[in-house]
Amino acid sequence: MYLFSMEQNSLNDTFFNSAIHSDVQCPMHLHYSMEIVYVKSGVLIMNVNGVDRVIRSGQATFISVFEPHSFFTPKSSVCIVTEFSPQLVSEFYSAVKAKKLVTEVFEINGDFLRLLENLSDKSVLNILSVKAALYPLCFSLLNNCEFTNDGKEIDSIFIEAVKYIYDHYGDEKIDLSCVAKAIGVHPVYLSRVFSGNSGMGFSKYLALIRTYKAAQMLIKERKKNISEIAFSCGFGSIRSFNRQFINILGLSPSEYRQKNF
């Protein structure tokens, strides 16, 4: 199972990541970056905002900022997943940030497919080449897809709160009141902001961040034992860590580490 990273630098104005993945499976998550997912072969099922999108070979879909989404490969798939900061294509983001995508799946071929494939080749990329590829892709998306005005713009308070969580998720004592005080808002208001902008409560979002960070460490830092990783990610006990990990990823931490060895 490939678990998409939720890196802190995804909040940066120049964040970009593109790679080819096989048989991708990933539980519900969300992030500040926008995303284009193209299926090279097979079938990929994505759930975006609670609605399934079936993406077949030669098709793609678009996920906007902080839209909850998950990946599931029923049999086999090869796909290109391209994530990028909205600031890299600011004009495009301004055009779609308060809108909802109606055309959930669209065709990509020819020149646009080559642009996507070039983006997944990290050896030749710099910020200018990234923008040079992203702008025509986004322009094509605007021309060929239908958007409605019933979407919503992400609250700046929510982004502030997410940044604070990324910086402090390892602190066991972090909670809604702590984050609200740090960014200067009332906890009740912040709770409403979280539900309205992410489709989930504060506690669930914090658990997701901690669990995903722990999953990354289980693979990248194999010399660290599971207890060290759990406590460094803000879990108060091994029991609570195991429970959250199984609930979110469907495997225990030790099973996950073994499977990704």
> Which CATH code for domain 156-259?
1.10.10.60
Domains 8-148 and 156-259 share a fold: no
Q: Are strands 16-22 and 77-84 parallel, antiparallel or unpaired?
A: antiparallel
> What would the CATH number be for the domain defined by 8-148?
2.60.120.280
Give CA–CA dist 237/230, Å, rounded.
8
Give the residue extent of every domain in the chain.
8-148, 156-259
How many other C-beta atoms lie within 10 A of the C-beta of residue 199? 16
Query: What pLDDT was estimated at residue 166?
Result: 87
pLDDT score, position 37: 94
> What pLDDT was estimated at residue 123?
64
State the Cα–Cα distance between residues 73 and 52, nearest whole angstrom: 12
Predicted pLDDT at 5: 44
Q: How confident is the model at residue 2 (pLDDT cuts 50, 70, 90)?
A: very low
* Arithmetic mean of pLDDT, 221-229: 92
- Are the beta carbons of 256 and 218 closer than 8 angstroms? yes
**What pLDDT band is residue 256 in, cutting at 50, 70 and 90?**
confident
Share of the chain above pLDDT 90, in %: 42
Reported pTM: 0.79
Q: CA 49: distance to chain centroid?
A: 13
More confident residue, 178 or 11: 178
Check pLDDT > 90 for residue 58.
yes
54-63, 128-137, 225-234: least confident range: 128-137
Mean local confidence (pLDDT), 72-94: 92
The whole-angstrom separation of Cα 80 and Cα 25 is 13
